[in-house]
């Protein structure tokens, strides 16, 4: 029975009749085709009724009065899985066809499509054209065979990515979505399996102290559901496409994968092969910013690029962001995650992309330019989705820097679209209201609420059914949202909480879900006050004889050795670290050339590092390091660090100074090391005074 015939049978069982012309038009076929369907359905129903159960009069198909409706409903439910309540649109059929192609190596022909979806051959041909266009857009190869149709030629990782894309596109057809809705995926997976996998992922979050944002959480649940379903198929040969299986990898993401794989077998009775453990681990690493950022520790090149982007944007918008530890760590975490995703080929989508890029168009252009000039666009493919995510972090920092913090009502922010959106929403709330934002949590953790910490109000971007005061707002606040929040705060007794704001509002009617204030444990708030960037001052690291002028060298190796000399002389490092830096550059290329004419020699291998320190060496004559954009190099700053944070403040200061023409001019003309150190010390003192004025 085709999808069209099942639809006709459903109409008859539920309504008793249907308009032949209307159904024909819905499926793009002729009324005669619908009459042929009725003949086939009558043949199918003959055993139930002993005669024709359906008759057509005045272009209307009707179920005869003596036809057994309940038996027809039962027949409909067993004749095949009816995944729709109405005819599929062209877009839905396209996605359904691609899904069928992904699940097997079989060919799909025009005849198969006509039979399955009850459409004309002309419509089926147009559908196949859309299938080709979709696959081309996602770099998936289709194989065409005369007389057999189309088949997807792809390895298992590629099929997974395409299936995940199809599932997400199907879920978004109905319009905007908020939170993780199981109903969006029931056509693909069973409810029991999805609920069990949700529980397992949350167990893994709790066990390893890692909280996924809702987008990542949803992607992880769907990915594991795909893994379970794919393992039930005959796809053993596909697993060779996953790449090397790292049995000895004990990093956090693979520990989580081991836990998830074990729990899947315990709960669902499905034994996932070792390749699936590897693939789940890779997926977890790409989805968890905390996990991915762990891989970036000691990647000073990536750190400096992030710092350069921050200093660039700060200079353009006229807001000092160079002391914002939250912005630095969030940006580094996001770029680390994005780089990880790029390497393993996973998707990144921003549901607020268009709204963000439209609402903050000027800043979006500045951020995109900063990402390009800082070199981050060489680390991550800067799609519009990526730029929108980075923009979120910058906007949250800008709003917070301009607004300050006053703490009154205790507020929890619930946001389903990611950390960046939650931070921007929280920063806007702090700017507009005198409130204390004590936590930002993802939607999927709302069920953990209990009576332990005092919460006055929950502000959420998704509808909540909770027993405490809550209000739903847009992820990007508008005037009516602000008016609603102000009204609710007043009702709760926090009079005068709204600050003087310029946003306009219409006269909204707001309601409180519950008047009884409750409490619950939450993760420590990202919006709580964080200290400035930690670590040593630049002047501190360069002091004590670490600045040397006009070193005579003839190659980049000699330049690195010369930069290490002052640090070896003071005993802060041994020659082993200098050798490690040189070997690293030989292996990885001139990654240490960070600026026009400037190199920052460093290595992840901390062998020989006894103390966090830095040197500044001016070469008598520039030398080439092999950097296409920034050669030749004359100024070499060697950095050695004993941990992941003790150098951060100094690195930020260096990035800011390199943007100052007066500093680069001094590097060129200085006659003594003291001149350079004196300039840097004055710069640091200016920063301290400026920060004090801002805090006052």
> How many Cα neighbours within 13 Å face the side chain of 551?
30
User: Other C-beta atoms within 10 Å of 672: how many?
Assistant: 10
User: Is the backbone of residue 550 left (phi > 0), alpha (psi -120 to 50) or beta?
Assistant: left
Q: For residue 609, what is the DSSP state? A: B
Contact (Cβ atoms closer than 8 angstroms) between residue 341 and residue 382:
no
Q: Is the dihedral of CA 82, 84, 87, 88 positive or negative?
A: negative
- The C-alpha atoms of residue 596 and residue 581 are separated, in whole angstroms, by 20
**Cα-Cα-Cα-Cα dihedral of 677, 680, 682, 688, to 10°?**
-140
603, two tokens? 């290595």
Q: Is 602 a catalytic residue?
A: yes
Terminal alpha carbon distance of the chain: 76
Q: Kindly report the length of the chain.
A: 696
- Minimal CA–CA distance to 539: which of 591, 479, 614, 457? 614
Catalytic residue among 329, 334, 602, 647: 602
- Report the 10 Å Cβ neighbour count for 289: 25
Q: Where do the H-state alpha helices sit in 461-549?
A: 479-491, 538-542
The CA dihedral of 449, 450, 451, 454, to the nearest 10 degrees, is -10
Q: Are the CB atoms for 556 and 535 separated by under 8 Å?
A: no
β partners of residue 618: 549, 635
Asked if 247 contacts 187 with a C-beta cutoff of 8 angstroms, the reply is: no
3 state DSSP class of 348: coil
DSSP annotation string for 494-523: -TT-B--------------S-SS--B---P
DSSP for 155-210 reads -HHHHHHHHHHHHHHHHHTTS---S--GGGGTTTS-HHHHHHHHHHHHHHHHHHT-
Query: Residue 174: which residues within 8 A CB-CB, separation 6 or more?
Result: none
Q: Which of 233, 216, 371, 227 is nearest to 285 (CA)?
A: 216
Q: What is the C-alpha separation between 671 and 647, in angstroms, rounded?
A: 27
Task: Give the phi and the psi of residue 143 in degrees, each rounded to 5.
Answer: -105, 130
In order, the DSSP letters of 245-256 are --TT--SHHHHH
CA quadruple 674, 594, 648, 367: dihedral, nearest 10: 120
Bond preceding residue 632 cis, omega within 30 of 0: yes
- Report the C-alpha gap between 97 and 103 in whole angstroms: 10
Closest CA to 333 of 261, 389, 258: 389
Helices 110-117, 121-137: inter-axial angle, 10-degree rounding? 110
The catalytic residue positions are: 602
């Amino acid at each position: 029975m085709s999808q069209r015939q099942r639809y006709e049978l459903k109409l008859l069982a539920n309504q008793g009749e249907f308009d032949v012309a209307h159904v024909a038009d819905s499926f793009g076929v002729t009324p005669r085709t619908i009459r042929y369907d009725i003949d086939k359905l009558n043949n199918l129903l003959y055993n139930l009724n002993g005669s024709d159960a359906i008759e057509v009069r005045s272009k209307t198909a009707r179920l005869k009065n003596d036809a057994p409706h309940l038996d027809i409903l039962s027949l409909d439910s067993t004749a095949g899985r009816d995944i729709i309540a109405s005819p599929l649109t062209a877009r839905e059929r396209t996605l359904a066809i691609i899904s069928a192609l992904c699940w097997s190596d079989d060919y799909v022909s025009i005849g198969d499509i006509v039979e399955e979806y009850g459409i004309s051959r002309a419509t089926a041909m147009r559908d196949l054209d859309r299938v080709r266009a979709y696959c081309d857009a996602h770099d998936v190869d289709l194989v065409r065979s005369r007389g057999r149709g189309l088949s997807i030629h792809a390895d298992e990782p590629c099929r997974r990515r395409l299936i995940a894309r199809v599932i997400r596109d199907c879920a978004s057809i109905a319009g905007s979505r908020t939170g993780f809705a199981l109903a969006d995926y029931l056509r693909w997976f069973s409810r029991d399996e999805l609920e069990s996998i949700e529980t397992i992922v949350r167990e893994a979050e709790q066990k390893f102290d890692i909280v996924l944002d809702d987008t990542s959480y949803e992607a992880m649940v769907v990915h594991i559901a795909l893994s379970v379903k794919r393992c039930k198929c005959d796809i053993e040969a596909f697993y060779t496409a996953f790449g090397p299986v790292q049995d000895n990898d004990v990093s956090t993401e693979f520990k989580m994968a081991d836990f998830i794989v074990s729990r899947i077998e315990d709960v669902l009775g499905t034994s996932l092969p070792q390749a699936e453990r590897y693939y789940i681990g890779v997926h977890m690493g790409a989805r968890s910013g905390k996990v991915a950022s762990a891989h970036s520790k000691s990647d000073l090149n990536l750190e400096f690029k992030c710092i350069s982007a921050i200093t660039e944007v700060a200079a353009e918008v006229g807001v000092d962001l160079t002391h914002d530890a939250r912005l630095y760590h969030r940006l580094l975490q996001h770029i680390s995650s994005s780089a990880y995703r790029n390497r393993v080929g996973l998707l990144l989508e921003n549901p607020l992309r268009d709204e963000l890029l439209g609402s903050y168009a000027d800043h979006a252009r500045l951020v995109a330019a900063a990402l390009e000039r800082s070199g981050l666009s060489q680390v991550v493919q800067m799609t519009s989705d990526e730029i929108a995510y980075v923009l979120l972090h910058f906007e949250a920092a800008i709003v917070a820097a301009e607004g300050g913090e006053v703490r009154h009502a205790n507020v929890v922010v619930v946001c389903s679209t990611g950390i960046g959106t939650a931070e921007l929403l929280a920063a806007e709330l702090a700017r507009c209201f005198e409130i204390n934002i004590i936590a930002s949590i993802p939607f999927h953790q709302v069920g953990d609420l209990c009576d332990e910490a005092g919460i006055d109000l929950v502000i959420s971007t998704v509808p909540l059914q909770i027993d405490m005061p809550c209000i739903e707002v847009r992820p990007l606040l508008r005037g009516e949202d602000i008016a609603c929040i102000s009204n609710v705060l007043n009702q709760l007794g926090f009079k005068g909480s709204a600050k003087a704001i310029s946003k306009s509002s219409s006269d909204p009617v707001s309601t409180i879900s519950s008047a009884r204030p409750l409490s619950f444990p939450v993760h420590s708030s990202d919006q709580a006050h964080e200290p400035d960037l930690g670590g040593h001052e630049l002047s501190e690291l360069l002091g004590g004889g670490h600045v040397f002028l006009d070193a005579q060298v003839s190659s980049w190796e000699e330049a690195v050795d010369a930069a290490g000399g002052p640090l070896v002389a003071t005993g802060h490092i041994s020659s082993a670290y200098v050798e490690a830096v040189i070997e690293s550059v030989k292996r990885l290329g001139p990654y240490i050339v960070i600026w026009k004419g400037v190199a920052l020699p460093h290595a992840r291998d901390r062998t020989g590092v006894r103390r966090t320190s830095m040197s500044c060496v001016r070469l008598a004559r520039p030398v080439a390091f092999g950097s296409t954009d920034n050669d030749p190099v004359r100024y070499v700053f060697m950095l050695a660090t004993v941990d992941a944070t003790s150098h951060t403040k100094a690195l930020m200061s260096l990035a800011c100074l390199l943007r100052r023409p007066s500093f680069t001019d001094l590097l060129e003309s200085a006659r003594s090391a003291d001149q350079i150190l004196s300039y840097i010390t004055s710069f640091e003192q200016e920063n301290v005074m400026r920060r004090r004025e801002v805090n006052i």
